[in-house]
Copies of this chain bind each other. A is one copy, B any other.
Amino acid sequence: MNDTFLRACRGEKVDYTPIWIMRQAGRYLPEYQAVRAKADFLTLCKTPELAAEVTMQPVDILGVDAAILFSDILIPLEPMGMRLRFLEKKGPRLSKPVRKMKDIEALRTIEPKKDVPFVLDTIKILRKRLRKKVPLIGFSGAPFTLATYMIEGGSSKNFLETKKMMFSAPEVFHALMQKITETTISYLRAQIKAGAQAVQIFDSWAGALAPDDYREFSLPYVKETIENLKSHDVPIIYFVNNCGGLLELARSSGADVIGIDWRVDIGKAITRIGKETAIQGNLDPLALFSDDTTLKTKVKDILKKGSRAKGHIFNLGHGILPQTPPEKAKTLVKLVHELSS
């Protein structure tokens, strides 16, 4: 098996810089669209054979160094007691939003084997198919990010309801976070037991918080999650979107790898997270709309700066856009491999 990705996560010597791409199984690939034509998004997530099929696509088509389970961070919120729908072009909707202590008390913590067996089955299928290929990454949303969806009932621009709760009823917010964290821990633990060889925790909305609020309302629950997974000895990646103001705090999460978005210089980010933690990132997803010369310059720069880190996993700074030409994603993978060899 190509274990370059796992070695880089651990800061071990590698022959080249490994790369995977956030949302690498997704709408930009015609092969994904073909599967998606047969099933709606949630059905796809919940049908192991189909989820495994689309997970494999970027491994075979792009030649990335890791596969990531095809699923959605909101999946565990359904068995917690929320109703989840995905509206075409409008994104996720969760009803009814969690606003009061009694809403939180009504939430369940999940039992993965019983509540999300399809996720674990997908992982088992994938480990067989990936045996001679690349490692499999499992994932979960970070507790704060999941909380925003549960409180807002979907995506949000300003996180009005979330911050109202944080700032005017912190005890309610913390009770919610504690409940989500229990789910996150058992969810990731089950994924690891089923065969995930690394896990990524997506804090997609952490960057909406002032650093002091992040320290109080998000970070402790990420730490708790990570502490509870450490004994499993798989690399833990903590992706902090819009991390510019948060890196010094994020380094204390205990993660083996900090994933960063594209809005920070990766060289400066490495200085800020220090030599104990590997780094993942951080090409602007929109750079895949460059001509090849510009793309090469950008990749070279990130690789050069990334070489100073304990370990560097190349990735985009956020998910690949549906409009991306698949050929550019292939070019990116090739460039990263060639330029770092």
Contacts and interface: CB of A to CB of B under 8 A. Distances in A.
Nearest to A288: B167
A314 to B, nearest CB: 15
Nearest to A162: B286
A286 B244 contact: no
Between A163, A243, A285, A294, the greatest number of chain B beta carbons within 10 A of the residue's beta carbon is seen for A163
Interface stretch (A18-26, A145-153, A261-269, A329-337): A261-269
A207 B243 CA distance: 12
Contact of A160 (B168, B211, B289, B290): B289
Nearest to A286: B163
A290 B321 CA distance: 36
A212 B290 CA distance: 15
Given A167-B291, A242-B242, A160 B263 contact: no
Interface residues of A, number: 40
A291 B168 contact: yes
Nearest to A269: B245
Interface string A269-292: 000000000000010111101110
Contacts of A291: 167-168
A240 B245 CA distance: 13
A210 interface: yes
Interface in A242-263: 242-246, 248, 262-263
Nearest to A265: B211
A323 interface: yes
A210 B163 contact: no
Interface string A150-172: 00000000111001100110100
Contacts of A289: 160, 163-164, 167-168
A209 interface: yes
Contact of A263 (B158, B207, B248): B207
24 contacts: A159-B286, A160-B286, A160-B289, A160-B321, A163-B286, A163-B287, A163-B289, A167-B286, A167-B287, A167-B289, A168-B289, A168-B291, A168-B294, A170-B294, A207-B263, A208-B263, A209-B263, A210-B262, A210-B317, A211-B264, A244-B264, A245-B265, A246-B263, A248-B268
Given A160-B321, A207-B244, A244-B246, 10 more contacts: A158-B321, A160-B286, A163-B289, A164-B289, A167-B290, A168-B294, A210-B265, A210-B284, A211-B265, A244-B244
